[in-house]
């Protein structure tokens, strides 16, 4: 299987070019699309990069479709249309009969999560629609748009297979709760699915009716986020979860055309930067984790997504200064030497950090902060020239 940029960015565990690619703890290294950058490269296309992109898109034409109906487990509701996952870091308690209730082992993923395939399917769905959208954008070959539209209809719209717009049963903990607020982190990849859909707006295959129906789905999902106790608790969290709540909420608000709400979300995210980041540019709640570099990069990725989305509303989140005098640039400066691999991280990190997670930060810091060393740092992580398309 050829290793392409999009295989890397979608974080699939695979064997590529004879080398094992590590299964990541997150899918955070998909690059948020910058329309202006894409437009520039479309005017001056790199033919070799386009051919590789077409090969990636062609490989997806036989993939799926997937739906919530395909999971092995059954949600407590008895309705397979409800999304369900189990908390990844909870394991059977060896001192209790049947292992119940499960106990936390932060950073260690329980393989039982594979019994509920919704989480993996939604990540792959979002990544593949993103890639198909890019393939259509650069080639205008309708087969890519047609495939993306099929995938979206099956997951979100078709009566027989659609996901109910809620996360009542996300990140369940056996013996404790059928669902937790933290399940919302699992839909953050909607951001990248929406990137792909935005590219398909002028295709024939993703129709105005599809767009309107999907807008309706996201409107209902956002209502759940703001009214269900799980969503409300996640919104008021004090770590990376609340920032990812804002990032995906902002993406969906813009997709459905609610710009006034989008401005409110940006202001809320600015407040989170002010309260969650310390004067050293680090995030204390993430430093407590057993994979602290991973989570420090993870939260910064969420803020970078918010900064990109804010541009369309005339807000320069890249340079704004919070009420407490903090800036997003401070967070990058604090992590730069670690993600460029010129300095060793000394905080807790029970698993090796996968530097692919840092690619979006390095890429956008080169663009917005004039980082002169970021390009070389990216080359240490991936030698794929297609990264420059994004």
User: Is the pLDDT at 30 greater than 90, yes or no?
Assistant: no
The rounded distance, in Å, linking the Cα atoms of 328 and 13 is: 31
Q: Residue 29: what pLDDT?
A: 56
CATH, domain range 237-390: 1.50.10.100
User: Is the pLDDT at 20 greater than 50, yes or no?
Assistant: no
Q: What torsion, rounded to 10 degrees, do the Cα atoms 312, 313, 316, 320 define?
A: -150
Q: Residue 385: what pLDDT?
A: 63
- The residue with greater pLDDT, 388 or 113, is 113
The rounded distance, in Å, linking the Cα atoms of 16 and 331 is: 33
The rounded distance, in Å, linking the Cα atoms of 185 and 272 is: 17
| Mean pLDDT of the residues in the chain | 91
Confidence of residue 22 (pLDDT cuts 50, 70, 90): very low
Domain regions of the chain by residue span = 237-390
The rounded distance, in Å, linking the Cα atoms of 95 and 360 is: 43
Confidence of residue 25 (pLDDT cuts 50, 70, 90): very low
The rounded distance, in Å, linking the Cα atoms of 285 and 15 is: 34
User: Is the pLDDT at 11 greater than 70, yes or no?
Assistant: no
The closest of 29, 33, 31, 30 to 311, measured between CA atoms, is 33
Confidence of residue 293 (pLDDT cuts 50, 70, 90): very high
pLDDT, tens digit, 9 for 90 and up, residues 74-111: 999 999 999 999 999 999 999 999 999 999 999 999 99
Confidence of residue 115 (pLDDT cuts 50, 70, 90): confident
Grouping H, G, I as helix, E, B as strand and the rest as coil, residue 137 is helix
Q: What is the pTM of this model?
A: 0.91
β 15-16/169-172 pair status: unpaired
């Amino acid at each position: 299987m050829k290793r392409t940029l999009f295989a890397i960015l979608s974080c699939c565990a695979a064997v590529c070019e004879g080398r094992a690619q590590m299964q990541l703890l997150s899918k955070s290294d998909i690059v948020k699309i910058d329309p202006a950058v894409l437009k520039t490269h479309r005017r001056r296309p790199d033919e070799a990069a386009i051919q590789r992109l077409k090969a990636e898109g062609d490989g997806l034409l036989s993939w799926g479709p997937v739906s919530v109906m395909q999971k092995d487990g059954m949600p407590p509701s008895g309705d397979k249309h409800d999304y369900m996952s189990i908390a990844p870091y909870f394991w059977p308690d060896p001192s209790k009969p049947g292992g119940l209730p499960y106990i936390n082992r932060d950073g260690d993923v329980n393989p039982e999560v594979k019994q509920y395939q919704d989480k993996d399917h939604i990540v792959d769905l979002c990544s593949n629609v993103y890639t198909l959208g890019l393939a259509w954008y650069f080639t205008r070959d309708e087969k890519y748009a047609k495939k993306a539209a099929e995938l979206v209809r099956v997951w979100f719209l078709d009566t027989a297979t659609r996901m109910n717009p809620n996360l009542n049963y996300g990140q369940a903990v056996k013996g404790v709760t059928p669902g937790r607020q933290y399940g919302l982190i699992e839909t953050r990849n909607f951001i990248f699915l929406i990137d792909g859909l935005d590219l398909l707006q002028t295709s024939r295959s993703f129709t105005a009716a599809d767009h309107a129906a999907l807008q309706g789905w996201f409107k209902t999902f956002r209502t759940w986020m703001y009214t269900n106790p799980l969503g409300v608790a996640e919104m008021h969290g004090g770590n990376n979860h609340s920032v990812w709540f804002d990032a995906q909420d902002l993406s969906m608000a813009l997709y459905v055309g609610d710009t006034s709400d989008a401005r409110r979300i940006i202001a809320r995210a600015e407040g989170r930067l002010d309260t969650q980041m310390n004067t050293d540019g680090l995030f204390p709640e993430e430093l407590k984790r057993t994979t602290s570099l991973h989570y420090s990069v993870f939260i910064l990725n969420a803020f970078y997504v918010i900064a990109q989305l804010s541009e369309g509303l005339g807000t320069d989140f890249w340079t704004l200064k919070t009420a407490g005098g903090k800036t997003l640039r401070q967070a990058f400066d604090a992590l730069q030497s670690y993600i460029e691999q010129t300095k060793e991280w000394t905080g807790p990190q029970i698993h090796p950090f996968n530097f692919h997670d840092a690619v979006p930060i390095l890429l956008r810091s080169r663009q917005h902060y004039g980082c002169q060393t970021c390009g070389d740092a990216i080359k240490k992580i991936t030698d794929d020239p297609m990264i420059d398309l994004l």
